[in-house]
Amino acid sequence: MSRAETVSASVQPRPLWTLGLFRDELRTTFRRWRTLALLGVLAAVPVLVGTAVRIETGDGSSGGGGGGGPAFVSQITNNGLFLVFTALAATLPFFLPMAVGVVAGDAVAGEAGSGTLRYLLVAPAGRTRLLLTKYATVMVFCLAATLVVAVSALAVGALLFPLGDLTTISGTRITFGEGLVRALLIALVVAASLLGVAALGLFVSTLTDSGIAAMATTVGLLITVQILDQIPQLHVLHPYLFSHHWLSFADLMREPVHWEDLTKNLGLQVLYAAVFGSAAWARFTTRDVTA
């Protein structure tokens, strides 16, 4: 028996075994103190918003006096469920993508910085498999972060305000049960809205051996994009900025639902994931690992 035969004969990767890395990656990510701190901050946002609204309207007068504040804020006193929408609208522009940027930016660069990347690669994790595992884990984190905000908001809303049937933006009434379904849908859409940032962060993460640098760059890019989106003279660029259609999730509260901006948003996220995912793959599978 030749040596080559013995090598291939004893190595039989099983499809299920390959998922072991993903399970372990999830465990490792969610056991990090930093991840838990990020989720803690996100959980605190609805508490702050809910308490502020409660204090503001404690004297019995309804509504905060029209206008200002995140979407749906004036509705909260009527129905605690609206705190879910308000909290998501308040965290989506910055807190949520920042948390995702931190986790995605650190995904590969952090491993490279601590030297654990070389041991994962000689294990051998396989570069494509490792990158897919990292992206899948960041996607799970997007969902977890969004759900943390939503669940915390629902709990605070139920505690501080009445619950019941609710009025959509279009003025029709829906039952509380249907409202919950809409809230879940909105959470899923918000989570999906973060996939573009996640892919961008992962790409940045493959460029450097410093986790901090990758996190800072990703969050910096996020802020830059948010600013660019506010400059009217750059309106030609706006439809291509990953954050441009983020707040379209409110259209899920219309009757019937307005799908146009929602699909634009999801399409844009898929585009970002494809472009930066490919770039991350091209970079990561060919780079020299010297850290």
Partner 1 sequence: MDGTSATEQTREGRSTGDAVVVTRGLTKRYRGGQLAVDDLNLTVPAGSVFGFLGPNGSGKTTTIRMLMGLIEPTSGTAHVLGRPMPRSARAVLPHVGALIEGPALYGFLSGRDNLLRYDAADPTADPRTRTSRVAAALDRVGLTTASGKKARAYSLGMKQRLGLAAALLRPRRLLVLDEPTNGLDPQGMREIRALVRELATDGTTVFLSSHLLDEIEQVCTHVAVMARGRLITQGPVAELAAGARGRLLVTTPDASDAARVLKEQGLADVVAEGDRVSAEPPARDLAEVNAALVAAGVRVRGFGVERASLEDVFVALTGEGFDVAG
Residues at the contact surface with partner 1, assessed by CB under 8 A: 2-4, 7-8, 10-14, 17-18, 20-21, 23-24, 28, 31-33, 114-116, 118-126, 129-130, 286, 288-290
Which residue lies nearer to partner 1 by CB, 36 or 184?
Answer: 36
H or E stretch at 174: strand 173-174
Which residue lies nearer to partner 1 by CB, 4 or 236?
Answer: 4
To which residue do tokens 């969902």 refer?
143
- Shortest approach of partner 1 to residue 151 CB, angstroms? 26
Integer Cα distance of 270 and 277 in angstroms: 10
- Shortest approach of partner 1 to residue 22 CB, angstroms? 9
Integer Cα distance of 255 and 239 in angstroms: 25
What number of H helices and E strands is found in the chain?
A: 11, 2
**Could you tell me the sign of the dihedral formed by the alpha carbons of 50, 54, 56, 60, in that order?**
positive
- Shortest approach of partner 1 to residue 197 CB, angstroms? 25
Which residue lies nearer to partner 1 by CB, 123 or 237?
Answer: 123
Structure tokens at 67: 């206008």
Integer Cα distance of 128 and 152 in angstroms: 36
Residue 195 burial by CB count (10 A; 0-12/13-18/19+): exposed, middle or buried? buried
Query: For 214, phi and psi rounded to 5 degrees?
Result: -65, -40
Which residue lies nearer to partner 1 by CB, 9 or 236?
Answer: 9
Closest CA relative to residue 217, chosen from 226, 227, 208: 208
Which residue lies nearer to partner 1 by CB, 5 or 59?
Answer: 5
Structure tokens at 129: 């498999």
- Shortest approach of partner 1 to residue 21 CB, angstroms? 5
Closest CA relative to residue 106, chosen from 128, 127, 137: 137
- Shortest approach of partner 1 to residue 11 CB, angstroms? 5
Instruction: Give the contacts of 149 (CB within 8 A, at least 6 positions apart).
Output: 42, 43, 45, 46, 87, 88, 91, 96, 187
- Shortest approach of partner 1 to residue 31 CB, angstroms? 7
Integer Cα distance of 32 and 271 in angstroms: 30
Which residue lies nearer to partner 1 by CB, 10 or 233?
Answer: 10
Which residue lies nearer to partner 1 by CB, 21 or 81?
Answer: 21
Which residue lies nearer to partner 1 by CB, 107 or 120?
Answer: 120
To which residue do tokens 């206008």 refer?
67
- Shortest approach of partner 1 to residue 14 CB, angstroms? 8
- Shortest approach of partner 1 to residue 23 CB, angstroms? 7
